[in-house]
């Protein structure tokens, strides 16, 4: 339970969301519902290539990111609406990108400066919250190349943003 609560809070902070206690409880419940769905199918898919805690962390993160993305895209959703106020007291999860990736509109504008895989990777990672593995599948770029490509794209975005100001 503590692990799932930690993941929910971490994802909320990393997306600059202020989650109420009810929102947090709803997201935790959604993670557990996913785990027990189809007679614990998620646990049956565990291959032992990592610790169970690591596996459950990844599962919980994916469920939470999808739920937050879904509720943000359906404005006015009656059930489990996540408060999308920007939390000014939440530390920036990517301080090296301070000002560059501060809001979704700015990211969209800056994405016009990138081309090809760089644009796709930044969009999938920062806007959709996808993992390196998911990005690799979606783009056809090897998983171990995602990090370096993302770093180069961030550096380009920093330079573009610095030139604009």
Q: Is residue 48 part of a domain?
A: yes
How confident is the model over 7-40, as pLDDT tens digits? 888 888 877 778 888 888 888 898 888 888 888 8
Do residues 65 and 114 share a domain? no
Do residues 67 and 7 share a domain? yes
Proportion of the chain above pLDDT 90, given as a percent: 4
Where in the sequence is the domain holding 16, given as residue range(s)? 2-73
The answer to whether 12 touches 24, Cβ cutoff 8 Å, is yes
- Average of per-residue pLDDT across 54-74: 80
Half-sphere exposure (Cβ direction) of 29: Cα atoms closer than 13 Å: 8
CATH number, domain of 128, equals 1.10.10
pTM > 0.85: yes or no:
no
Do residues 109 and 63 share a domain? no
pLDDT of amino acid 88? 32
> 96, exposed or middle or buried, with CB in 10 Å at 0-12, 13-18, 19+?
exposed
Q: Is residue 90 part of a domain?
A: no
Domain count, the chain: 2
Do residues 18 and 64 share a domain? yes
Q: Is residue 82 part of a domain?
A: no
How confident is the model over 80-97, as pLDDT tens digits? 334 333 333 333 344 444
Copy the structure tokens of residue 9: 């809070």
Which residues in 47-83 are b (16+ Cβ under 10 Å) and which e? eeeeeeeebbbebbbbbbbebbeebeeeeeeeebbbe
Q: Is residue 101 part of a domain?
A: yes
Report which of 22, 14, 16 is spatially closest to residue 80, judged by C-alpha positions: 22
């Amino acid at each position: 339970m503590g692990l799932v609560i930690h993941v929910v809070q971490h994802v909320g902070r990393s997306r600059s969301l202020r989650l109420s206690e009810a929102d947090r409880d709803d997201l935790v419940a959604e993670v557990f519902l996913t785990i027990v769905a189809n007679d614990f199918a998620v646990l049956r898919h565990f291959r032992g290539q990592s610790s169970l805690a690591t596996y459950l962390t990844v599962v919980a993160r994916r469920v939470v990111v999808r739920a937050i993305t879904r509720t943000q895209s359906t404005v006015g959703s009656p059930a489990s609406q996540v408060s999308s106020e920007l939390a000014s007291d939440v530390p920036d999860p990517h301080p090296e990108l301070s000002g560059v990736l501060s809001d979704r509109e700015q990211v969209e504008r800056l994405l016009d400066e990138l081309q090809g895989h760089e644009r796709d990777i930044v969009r999938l990672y920062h806007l959709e919250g996808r993992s390196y593995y998911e990005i690799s599948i979606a783009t056809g770029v090897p998983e171990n190349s995602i990090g370096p490509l993302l770093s180069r794209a961030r550096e380009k975005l920093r330079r573009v943003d610095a030139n604009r100001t």
